Chains A and B, each alone.
Chain A
């Protein structure tokens, strides 16, 4: 079982002109087995939602709550949130020079499980996850995200999702910068994860392209720090045809 419940989430960031409110009350529940897509124009607060839930220090929560299976995520440090079952695939995965993917993945898995993974099966698991993302086994000897192409970074994020097996995955613009072949590989990975027992997916995207391969149960349109409209898959099709013009007009 896994339920991510976001209630009236309000978030601000520190700017030179003082705090700026970015999320103005977001309410959203992701139940077991559901895939939600958040769409919206640039600056509408999509990524802020992802990072605020994951606990990035840049964002200040000014109101509302976020719980995972009833546990208050906002009380937790970023690593505690991950250990509670949250995963964030980042739009720009960070380079960590000198730390091999193998070392990083093993350290993360050990932290999540509370014990080191069994050596023999683990190497097989890692190679399998890399292979499913069309990444060579030698990839695990490279430094985390260092010198990876844009597509390799995104595929490595999904390989991590596969291996670390969280309850809820937030994928922030996982489709940006991918060519069509890489998009299919990444989508297959997301679908494989979503089909596991009791998983939730929150897919944040600027484009409808990925929604041809990852079918969302719900689509939410973000405008100016709020959900302007929610619907099913058909909402994405409408956005594909008409864009965000009507929402932006309404917000102004």
Chain B
């Protein structure tokens, strides 16, 4: 190849703005036939215990029900017919479970915030599972109109085998906060997909809290439909013995001057507790002047736990403000414990304080007052149940 050829190639490449040869960006399809049953050896499935998914990934029938209680703030509209909205956020299934849900459930519910409507109070949707035997598929759409502001909380509890696709559209200039709390009973299986399209100068904040369930696997992907959009993804999780908690995140910087900030923090305790965090960021050629940072920290409280943490950053343009990531898996810091204990604080209390601080550091970034208090209380309850119990076991 001559020098001229090489430069021609590079010019061609630089002109090809839309197509990306990216392993982070598989071609999706609504066609179920395009998604063979996974074996567990695929990159996107290799961490997941397929045997515990109750055939969601093969052909489990979707015949179960959920109890849904809505505590909606004034100004938000709900409709149970959103059947025309499949793919409205740009979502295209990239795995078999998402494709199965897309085929089985078309618009279970639409929550819509009208344009220019500012809603102070959070709207809370409590989704209660009624049993694990029959699987449930759901397709939920949240739409924040231009320049609207709102907070929507999905609180999952009870026992269920649930696969859901949540599509979120944040129109130009809107500010939407979505909170997802997986507070399931111990036997629940939840495989969720969330896809958000963020408009010009719009802000989307997702807070994901995962405590309960046997297997919880969530995919969250974000893309931008215009410049100036901002995405913040905060996650907090606590895996007990035998629990599998997997968070897969993908921020696709499809527009210039966009921002993304991802922080997930988790603690693990007990034999067989397993957490997985995959943090993918793709900066496309068109996405000049963007800023991205992703971080995952895991605190391993006992032996017998496993925390997998995989950040991936793919950069197609160097013309950006900044891109960074950090990932850590660690035990209690002996120096922190010694410092606290040297002030008279007993070991169990010192451990509790360190874990409390570990999560509190994240909770104070949430910016939803009520929720911060609630989460602090939930963390305290989880700690009382676990960290302190562990101390008793050791005593």
User: Hey, which bits of chain A sit against chain B, CB under 8 A?
Assistant: 54-57, 77-79, 81-83, 87-88, 90, 93-99, 103-104, 107-108, 111-112, 143-144, 160, 164
Contact = CB atoms under 8 A, between A and B. Distances in A.
Contacts of B364: 98
Contact of A94 (B339, B345, B356, B359): B339
Given A56-B338, A94-B336, A96-B339, A82 B344 contact: yes
Contacts of A99: 353-354, 356-357, 360
B344 A112 contact: yes
A129 to B, nearest CB: 14
B335 interface: yes
A143 B339 contact: no
B349 interface: yes
A78 B336 CA distance: 13
Contacts of A77: 341, 347
A57 B344 contact: no
Residue of B333, B359, B361 with most chain A CB atoms under a 10 A cut-off: B361
Contacts of A88: 342
A214 B198 CA distance: 62
B355 to A, nearest CB: 9
A108 B343 contact: yes
Interface of B: 333-336, 338-347, 349-350, 353-354, 356-362, 364
B359 A78 contact: no
Nearest to B348: A79
Contacts of B357: 96-99, 143-144
A95 B345 CA distance: 16
B344 A108 contact: yes
Nearest to B362: A98
Contacts of B358: 97-98
25 contacts: A55-B342, A57-B338, A78-B341, A78-B342, A79-B343, A79-B345, A79-B350, A82-B343, A93-B339, A94-B335, A95-B336, A96-B340, A96-B353, A98-B357, A98-B360, A98-B362, A99-B353, A99-B354, A103-B353, A107-B345, A107-B353, A108-B343, A108-B344, A111-B345, A111-B349
Contacts of A98: 356-362, 364
A87 B349 CA distance: 18
Nearest to A78: B341
A89 B347 CA distance: 19
B169 to A, nearest CB: 34
A138 to B, nearest CB: 15
A199 B213 CA distance: 54
A167 B344 CA distance: 13
B359 to A, nearest CB: 7
B33 to A, nearest CB: 49
Contacts of A144: 339, 357
Contacts of A56: 338
B32 to A, nearest CB: 45
B336 A108 contact: no
Nearest to A109: B344
A160 B342 CA distance: 11
Contacts of A97: 357-358, 361
Nearest to B334: A57
A108 B345 contact: yes
Given A79-B341, A96-B354, A97-B357, A111 B346 contact: yes
A107 B357 CA distance: 13
A108 B344 CA distance: 6
A78 B342 CA distance: 5
A90 B339 contact: yes
Contacts of B350: 79
A96 B345 CA distance: 14
A95 B354 CA distance: 10
A111 B353 CA distance: 13
Contacts of A78: 338, 341-342
B341 A104 contact: no
Residue of A103, A107, A112 with most chain B CB atoms under a 10 A cut-off: A107
B366 to A, nearest CB: 13
Residue of A78, A82, A95 with most chain B CB atoms under a 10 A cut-off: A78
A164 B344 contact: yes
A147 B81 CA distance: 51
Given A55-B338, A56-B338, A79-B343, 13 more contacts: A55-B341, A55-B342, A82-B344, A94-B339, A96-B339, A97-B357, A99-B353, A107-B345, A107-B349, A108-B343, A111-B344, A111-B345, A144-B357
Contacts of B341: 55, 77-79, 82
Given A107-B349, A111-B349, A160 B356 contact: no
A151 to B, nearest CB: 18
A57 B349 CA distance: 18
A141 to B, nearest CB: 10
A193 to B, nearest CB: 15
B339 A164 contact: no
Nearest to A93: B339
A54 B357 CA distance: 24
A79 B346 contact: yes
Contacts of A57: 334, 338
Contacts of B333: 94
Nearest to B357: A98
